[in-house]
């Protein structure tokens, strides 16, 4: 079956299953007149062997298992990742550090990314820096550093097409994910602010929402996505307001995933997410901590 695709000048976007819903993703290919580039390689890349043939460069917008699932198909292509993420593609140890799971889960996680996402480390991967540009012939690609989801997460802008690949700022109903060891909530807030200011004609998400071509629609979706951060904060404040709570109490409560969600990383994600909110709330004096017990300041 043919993979559905959209074209903008030299850029083609191949949509993964369900518009790239996790575990799949959307594949961007830039056929520059000199250089052929792909952004990430989600699972759908494994159905696009013909389309990916002759790829010169894989530019990873960020490193996660679902964005590197086709790298094994491209052993001769140059692999690039932002300097803050590059260790995660160079080795399995680097990837596991990136997630920051409790060490007892690392063996299972390594198995998971290998079995489900064909993860193959690329010790030869090169790093790129924030705002780096590549001239690929009649199109230019620029990396806009938009950290938060991971430390090196970048949006990739292709001009003159005006295609902006925004990766895991995926505008989904789930909201922003900042639940890994390398995630940062405050960076994510700044990233979401900055993203509003970038001019583009088409916004390409890695997952679920696919391609958006209307600026107003994009801004509405971005607003709803951003609001999820405040929803989580409000939910944490509500629970603490009812009863002073330990981090453990809050983790049991769950603010990111529903109770039934039992993936390997679920608890770790809750811990990272809640901890970052608590730190922010303590910073503005809304929450106080005493002997591991968090309560409202008022
Ligand atoms: Zn990701």
Ligand 1 centroid distance, CA of 286 (Å): 30
Ligand 1 centroid distance, CA of 168 (Å): 5
Ligand 1 centroid distance, CA of 20 (Å): 13
> Residue 113 corresponds to which tokens in the numbers above?
């990314």
Ligand 1 centroid distance, CA of 237 (Å): 27
- Whether residues 262 and 210 share a domain: the answer is no
Domain end (from 223, 256, 271): 223
Ligand 1 centroid distance, CA of 298 (Å): 37
Ligand 1 centroid distance, CA of 292 (Å): 31
Q: What is the pLDDT of residues 249-291, one digit of tens each?
A: 999 999 999 989 889 999 999 999 999 999 999 999 999 999 9
Give the range of the structural domain holding residue 240, as residue numbers without chain letter: 230-296
Ligand 1 centroid distance, CA of 180 (Å): 9
Ligand 1 centroid distance, CA of 63 (Å): 7
d(CA 277, CA 174): 17
The arithmetic mean of pLDDT across residues 11-22, rounded, is 94
d(CA 212, CA 201): 8
The arithmetic mean of pLDDT across residues 108-134, rounded, is 98
CATH of residue 257's domain is 1.10.10.10
- Whether residues 124 and 250 share a domain: the answer is no
- Whether residues 192 and 250 share a domain: the answer is no
Ligand 1 centroid distance, CA of 149 (Å): 7
Contacts 24+ apart (CB under 8 A), 70-77: 70/27, 70/41, 70/42, 70/43, 70/44, 70/45, 70/46, 70/118, 71/41, 71/118, 71/119, 71/120, 71/122, 72/118, 72/120, 73/41, 73/45, 73/46, 73/49, 74/38, 74/41, 77/38
Q: What is the pLDDT of residues 132-189, one digit of tens each?
A: 999 999 999 999 999 999 999 999 999 999 999 999 999 999 999 999 999 999 999 9
CATH of residue 191's domain is 3.60.15.10
Domain end (from 180, 201, 223): 223
- Whether residues 123 and 249 share a domain: the answer is no
The arithmetic mean of pLDDT across residues 37-46, rounded, is 98
Q: What is the pLDDT of residues 59-109, one digit of tens each?
A: 999 999 999 999 999 999 999 999 999 999 999 999 999 999 999 999 999
Q: What is the predicted pLDDT for the residue at 144?
A: 98
- Whether residues 241 and 214 share a domain: the answer is no
- Whether residues 175 and 264 share a domain: the answer is no
Ligand 1 centroid distance, CA of 183 (Å): 10
- Whether residues 265 and 204 share a domain: the answer is no
Ligand 1 centroid distance, CA of 64 (Å): 5
Ligand 1 centroid distance, CA of 9 (Å): 27
- Whether residues 261 and 286 share a domain: the answer is yes
CA dihedral 226, 228, 234, 240 (to 10 degrees): -120
- Whether residues 114 and 199 share a domain: the answer is yes
Count of the separate structural domains present in the chain: 2
Place of tokens 């509500």: 238
- Whether residues 139 and 250 share a domain: the answer is no
Q: What is the predicted pLDDT for the residue at 38?
A: 98
Q: What is the predicted pLDDT for the residue at 149?
A: 98
Q: Let me know the angle formed at the C-alpha of 72 by 128 and 70, rounded to the nearest 5 degrees.
A: 75
Ligand 1 centroid distance, CA of 75 (Å): 22
Ligand 1 centroid distance, CA of 11 (Å): 22
> Residue 250 corresponds to which tokens in the numbers above?
């809050």
Q: What is the predicted pLDDT for the residue at 1?
A: 66
Domain end (from 223, 251, 268): 223
In degrees and rounded to multiples of 5, residue 244 shows phi and psi of -50, 135
Ligand 1 centroid distance, CA of 195 (Å): 17
Burial (CB count within 10 angstroms: exposed 0-12, middle 13-18, buried 19+), residue 69? buried
- Whether residues 67 and 155 share a domain: the answer is yes
* pLDDT over threshold 90, residue 245: yes
Strands (E) located in 61-107 = 78-82
- Whether residues 170 and 270 share a domain: the answer is no
């Amino acid at each position: 079956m043919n993979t559905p695709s959209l074209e903008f000048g030299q850029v083609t976007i191949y949509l993964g299953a369900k518009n790239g819903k996790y575990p799949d993703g959307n594949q961007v290919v830039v056929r520059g007149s000199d250089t052929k580039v792909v952004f990430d390689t989600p699972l759908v890349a494994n159905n696009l062997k013909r389309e990916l043939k002759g790829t010169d460069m894989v530019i990873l917008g960020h490193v996660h298992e679902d964005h590197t699932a086709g790298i094994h198909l491209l052993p001769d292509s140059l692999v690039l990742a932002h300097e803050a993420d590059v260790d995660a593609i160079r080795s399995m140890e680097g990837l596991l550090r990136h997630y920051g799971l409790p060490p007892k889960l690392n063996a299972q996680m390594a198995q998971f990314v290998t079995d489900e996402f064909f993860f193959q480390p690329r010790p030869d991967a090169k790093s790129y820096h924030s705002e780096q540009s590549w001239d690929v012939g009649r199109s230019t690609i620029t990396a806009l550093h938009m950290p938060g989801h991971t430390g090196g997460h970048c949006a990739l802008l292709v001009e003159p097409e005006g295609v902006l690949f925004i990766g895991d700022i995926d505008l989904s109903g789930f909201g922003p994910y900042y639940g890994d060891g390398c995630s940062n909530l405050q960076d994510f807030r700044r990233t979401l602010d900055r993203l509003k200011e970038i001019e583009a004609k088409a916004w390409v998400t890695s997952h679920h929402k696919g391609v958006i071509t209307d600026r107003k629609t994009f801004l509405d979706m971005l607003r709803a996505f951003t609001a999820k951060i405040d929803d989580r904060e409000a939910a944490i404040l509500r629970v603490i307001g009812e009863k002073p709570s330990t981090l453990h109490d809050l983790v049991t409560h769950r603010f990111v995933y529903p109770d039934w969600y039992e993936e390997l990383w679920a608890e770790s994600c809750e811990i990272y997410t809640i901890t970052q909110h608590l730190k922010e709330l303590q910073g503005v004096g809304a929450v106080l901590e005493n002997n591991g017990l968090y309560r409202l300041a008022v």
